[in-house]
Structure formats: structure tokens, C-alpha cells
Amino acid sequence: MSRTTITIPQSLIDELMSEVKAKSKTEAVIKAIRDEIRLKKKEKIKMMAGKMEFTKSAEELRHKDERLG
């Protein structure tokens, strides 16, 4: 874990803590950072839509795990 000093307007901190129901500033910021990372990962996955080619059907992927056979 690292410590970082940043200046954030108190009104933003108050609003963030309220929105994410955090008990501390640290908890609120960590939740906000995790949420932003999750959203960016979702965007990357959406951008890949239609760019991947699957050679197996959904049924095969779902029920025929080659590693088990």
C-alpha cells in the first residue's frame, strides 16, 4: 500500500462518500478507483465485440471441456 497526498475539493469528497456509502475518505476513494478500473475494463471488452472468432459452438464450450477428458 502506498500513501499519496492529493488535494480534492471537500464537496466532491462529501458527495463521493455519500454516493458510495463509505465510512472514510480512504474507503470512498478506493471504491471510486476500483469502479473506474472496472468500467474501463468493460469498455475494452465491448470494443472487442465482433473481433474475436470462435471455432466451437456455445454448446461445445459449455459442456465439452477438453481438459477434463
Spell out the domain ranges in the chain.
10-68
Contact 16, 23 (CB under 8 A): no
> Could you report the per-residue pLDDT of 4-36, keeping only the tens digit for each?
999 999 999 999 999 999 999 999 999 999 999
Is this prediction's pTM over 0.85?
Answer: no
Average pLDDT over residues 33-40: 96
The yes-or-no verdict on residue 69 having pLDDT over 60 is no
DSSP annotation string for 23-38: SSHHHHHHHHHHHHHH
